[in-house]
Amino acid sequence: MSQYILDTNHLRAYEYLQPKLMAKVMAIGMSQIAITGITVEEQAQGWLKAIRSASQAPLARRAEKFGWAYGGLRMSVQMVNRFEILDFSGTSYERFLEFRRQGIRISTHDLQIAAIAIDVGGVVVTQNLRDFEQVPGLRVENWL
């Protein structure tokens, strides 16, 4: 059985309980679904940016902005901990470099996710089929 690896857009859909995605998750089972450390990094970067932005908000709105940003970070951490988190290992890094040498032109994070997925024999679940389909040997699906 394949391991399914949610990329960032599908993780966001999971966060918002998107019905079509949730039906697929329930049918497959959480034990077959993972995310990568790259996706965790992207989630964290977004919330850390919001926290930095809150410190620059007008004083009258700063408490509200901080509450929203730190609350979002907390909920994001709780959500990602529901999944197995796959590492960007040395092997994944070497595969990533090989893809770059081959001239595959997709975002760094997407190419890192692709390298991890190939290393573990997983299927990337993404809306971004156009980019991920450029990676030789990578299996992709869109559940949205």
The per-residue pLDDT for range 121-144, each reduced to its tens digit, is 999 999 999 999 999 999 999 999
pLDDT given at position 127: 97
pLDDT given at position 2: 65
Amino acid at site 138: L
For residue 100, the surrounding DSSP H or E stretch is: helix 90-101
Using CB atoms within 10 Å of the CB of residue 31, give its burial: 0 to 12 exposed, 13 to 18 middle, 19+ buried.
exposed
pLDDT given at position 78: 95
- DSSP track, 5-28: EE-HHHHHHHHTT-HHHHHHHHHH
The pTM for the full model equals: 0.90
pLDDT given at position 1: 52
The ranges of the chain with pLDDT < 70 are 1-2
What does the alpha-carbon distance between residue 28 and residue 1 come to, in Å, rounded to a whole number?
Answer: 10
Q: Which domains does the chain possess?
A: 4-41+85-141 (3.40.50.1010)
What does the alpha-carbon distance between residue 131 and residue 59 come to, in Å, rounded to a whole number?
Answer: 42
Tokens representing residue 83 in the block: 């999944």
pLDDT given at position 86: 97
Asked whether the beta carbons of 53 and 24 are under 8 A apart, the reply is no
